[in-house]
Chains A and B, each alone.
Chain A
């Protein structure tokens, strides 16, 4: 097991390096001189040659790109992404200020989506091709098809403008959480419902299920104890990976509902070309994805020993 973990750890190193290179390169991928961006963002003036030169030296932008990258990476691994070009404070402070709002929105959405996705997916699989299955499939299809921003506005129209039950925007009490969570959950659970359904259907077609039924076990036991338990492995993997949505998964929802989280921070930073913030969010998002992936892989090996042996 330890060998397996060690090997997986080694395997993620190139991925992490790739993420860091992409994150760092954002500064240079966009057209224009980064030094000019900084002058405009910091001083709100026309960049003169002297100012651009001074900024280049001050920020080390006149050094070879490899040196700049290594310097950036060495700081980034310690959580130091420098200062925001527009907000006059460390990037990490900005991210930490916005993290609680994003975390609250994400984990509420995550919990509700998983509960409903499991429920609907199981019902849909059990009653395959019957009315309830068609209903669940249409529900999922709508969730996948309807853009979040449009659904959000429609929900505001219904619950805030017409019924006056819930606030249309803002961050605060639980009443502020309901519409954003409902909006995000709708699309979040749609794909997962389909996934649960297909995994469970596949499990239900396996020989051990036929054997269980042949033994005369009640259908409830067959589905929940035999089929679902086996179907859970890919489901857990899939669900766990969506934790990476924490950083940027809620962009549209946060913008529509004026939710001061990381998604809206990313949008603002891209608009303002505040590259240190964009770099940090892309980097952290990528690293989070890789780490969750690693943890899931390890758990996978713990749950299902065949993975280790096969490996």
Chain B
């Protein structure tokens, strides 16, 4: 057979196409997944010793579940391990009916005795979110008794400071609320398989949780590594040693610095944030001069340009113009309060007063807050206030607050969704304590009305009255609304927020073969 030029071109073309096609087929990356997700976190998870002191992050949201949860968007307490409940004795007693067939990660059933055991841990310690007592009615019914008839009783049961339901086998001696935590066993999506204090914790999916929810775990291991230094945590993410950084959002300690979020995003990392009802403020020492004077407190409020503060963090946070809490907080939008930046007014007030040096203190372990304090100091100086900023070691800062040796300080109100109600109590209601922010007859009365009200609609109106009272007395100078952040490598998927917490049961990590 004679090979024509046309045949030669044709066969050569087919040959090259086949070769290229096969090559491309061979080069196609088959997507695979890593079986481990590594989290960088600032604190030890405290999974040995006192069970009331386990860390408020992974153990509480990945290992344990609570009877109820709080949904900020509807201002409702919603069922979780409890199916339903009855309020008795004007609210001093709440009887919960438990869901049946919920298994702990060791295969034993979660029942009323486990609930009683868990909350007795708080009762015997007279913990700040403990009920007065817990009674087992039957295997699936449990009653909680409280000293006060207020909605805070619900808030306590889901607050981050409290506990989720754990198996009595978690402690030694077994079932003893005074016992020592040896192996945290919960009903949540993960179970603890290894814990090395101050170094790392290894968790694996709890198959009973996944069977119950009908989901499939996408990772085999979740490892939490303890990295206390914030800069090292960020570098560990950049070096690829951890996949995700999560915040410990309690009071501004131990989170990914907000002023590094933009740089991380620019470099390809994913930054997930969730707005929470948490506000950084300038708190006044309102019991002594000059800030026992409401006009002086207004002067500070007028002098602060909150937009400039939000810019420090590349606007990852929102400036607190529209109230002492963000608009998502119950009743905040309806309260219709707005803070103004009004330099002339601030100067007028200050010029008419005889004010000496103002002691402004900030905790040096809260690096973001040190930057904020420096800017606020400058803004207050611009209206004629002689502000001396003192950046103090954490313990010294606390001691200064405790002894009342300050005029202004950087502090916070509110918190994650589940802490919002308790923080109303902890910041605005008696007794007088270093962590209180502002109390007056009017504000305290209004705050008390909020936490006593079980009816959601009425409570919303009482929230409005409380916010207005606090605003009129300029009880605080809000700065910005906080977020909770998760920073993850580009190949991490499926991490999502539920309430204010990042959840990992649907997380996975892409890898390429």
**A157 proximity list for chain B (CB < 8 A):** 235
- The answer to the question of B175 belonging to the interface, with a C-beta cut-off of 8 Å to chain A, is no
Interface size class on chain B is: 35 or more
**What's the minimum C-beta distance from A98 to chain B, rounded to whole angstroms?**
8
- The answer to the question of B225 belonging to the interface, with a C-beta cut-off of 8 Å to chain A, is yes
Q: A168 and B49: CB pair below 8 A?
A: no
Q: B49 and A258: CB pair below 8 A?
A: no
- The answer to the question of A6 belonging to the interface, with a C-beta cut-off of 8 Å to chain B, is no
Interface residues of A in 134-170 (CB under 8 A from B): 149, 152-153, 156-157, 160-161, 164, 167-170
Q: B239 and A31: CB pair below 8 A?
A: no
Q: A168 and B239: CB pair below 8 A?
A: yes
**B229 proximity list for chain A (CB < 8 A):** 149, 169, 255-256, 258
**A153 proximity list for chain B (CB < 8 A):** 231-232, 235
Q: B241 and A168: CB pair below 8 A?
A: yes
Q: How far is the CA of A45 from the CA of B128 in the complex (A)?
A: 5
Q: A89 and B232: CB pair below 8 A?
A: no
Q: How far is the CA of A164 from the CA of B236 in the complex (A)?
A: 11
Q: B125 and A43: CB pair below 8 A?
A: yes
Q: B225 and A46: CB pair below 8 A?
A: no
**B238 proximity list for chain A (CB < 8 A):** 161
Q: How far is the CA of A2 from the CA of B395 in the complex (A)?
A: 47
CB-CB under 8 A for A87 and B241, given A44-B161, A168-B235:
no
Partner of B126, one of A32, A45, A89, A256: A45
Q: A164 and B239: CB pair below 8 A?
A: yes
**B126 proximity list for chain A (CB < 8 A):** 43, 45, 51
CB-CB under 8 A for A31 and B403, given A258-B227, A270-B395:
yes
Q: A43 and B49: CB pair below 8 A?
A: no
Q: How far is the CA of A42 from the CA of B52 in the complex (A)?
A: 10
Q: B240 and A169: CB pair below 8 A?
A: no
Q: How far is the CA of A89 from the CA of B180 in the complex (A)?
A: 11
CB-CB under 8 A for A171 and B199, given A43-B126, A44-B161, A87-B49:
yes
**What's the minimum C-beta distance from A44 to chain B, rounded to whole angstroms?**
6
**B125 proximity list for chain A (CB < 8 A):** 42-45
Q: How far is the CA of A149 from the CA of B463 in the complex (A)?
A: 46
**What's the minimum C-beta distance from B60 to chain A, rounded to whole angstroms?**
14
Q: Give the number of chain A interface residues (Cβ < 8 Å).
A: 36
Q: Which residue of B lies closest to A252 (CB)?
A: B229
**A311 proximity list for chain B (CB < 8 A):** none
**B400 proximity list for chain A (CB < 8 A):** 31
CB-CB under 8 A for A257 and B127, given A44-B53, A89-B49:
no
Interface residues of A in 35-86 (CB under 8 A from B): 42-46, 51, 86
**A207 proximity list for chain B (CB < 8 A):** none
Q: How far is the CA of A80 from the CA of B236 in the complex (A)?
A: 38
- Chain A window 272-285, contacts with chain B (Cβ cutoff 8 Å), 1 for yes, 0 for no: 01000000000000
Q: How far is the CA of A49 from the CA of B239 in the complex (A)?
A: 51
Q: Which residue of B lies closest to A156 (CB)?
A: B235
**B240 proximity list for chain A (CB < 8 A):** 164
**A170 proximity list for chain B (CB < 8 A):** 199-200, 225
**What's the minimum C-beta distance from A158 to chain B, rounded to whole angstroms?**
10
Q: How far is the CA of A30 from the CA of B49 in the complex (A)?
A: 27
**What's the minimum C-beta distance from A54 to chain B, rounded to whole angstroms?**
11
- The answer to the question of A271 belonging to the interface, with a C-beta cut-off of 8 Å to chain B, is yes
Q: Which residue of B lies closest to A87 (CB)?
A: B49
Interface residues of B in 49-73 (CB under 8 A from A): 49-50, 52-53
**What's the minimum C-beta distance from B72 to chain A, rounded to whole angstroms?**
24
- The answer to the question of B510 belonging to the interface, with a C-beta cut-off of 8 Å to chain A, is no
Interface residues of A in 156-198 (CB under 8 A from B): 156-157, 160-161, 164, 167-171
Q: A88 and B431: CB pair below 8 A?
A: no
**What's the minimum C-beta distance from A41 to chain B, rounded to whole angstroms?**
10
Q: B239 and A260: CB pair below 8 A?
A: no
**A102 proximity list for chain B (CB < 8 A):** none
Q: B239 and A156: CB pair below 8 A?
A: yes
Q: B197 and A169: CB pair below 8 A?
A: no
Q: B127 and A169: CB pair below 8 A?
A: no
- The answer to the question of A264 belonging to the interface, with a C-beta cut-off of 8 Å to chain B, is yes
CB-CB under 8 A for A88 and B232, given A160-B241, A258-B227:
no
Q: How far is the CA of A255 from the CA of B229 in the complex (A)?
A: 6
Interface residues of A in 2-53 (CB under 8 A from B): 30-32, 42-46, 51
**B398 proximity list for chain A (CB < 8 A):** 273
**A258 proximity list for chain B (CB < 8 A):** 199, 225-229, 232
- Chain A window 74-115, contacts with chain B (Cβ cutoff 8 Å), 1 for yes, 0 for no: 000000000000111100000001000000000000000000
User: Beyond A44-B161, A167-B241: 9 further Cβ-contacts under 8 Å?
Assistant: A30-B399, A88-B53, A89-B49, A156-B235, A161-B239, A169-B229, A169-B232, A256-B232, A258-B226
19 A–B pairs (Cβ distance < 8 Å), ordered by A: A32-B399, A42-B125, A44-B128, A44-B161, A46-B431, A46-B433, A86-B53, A153-B231, A153-B235, A161-B239, A170-B200, A256-B229, A256-B232, A258-B229, A258-B232, A260-B197, A260-B198, A264-B228, A271-B365
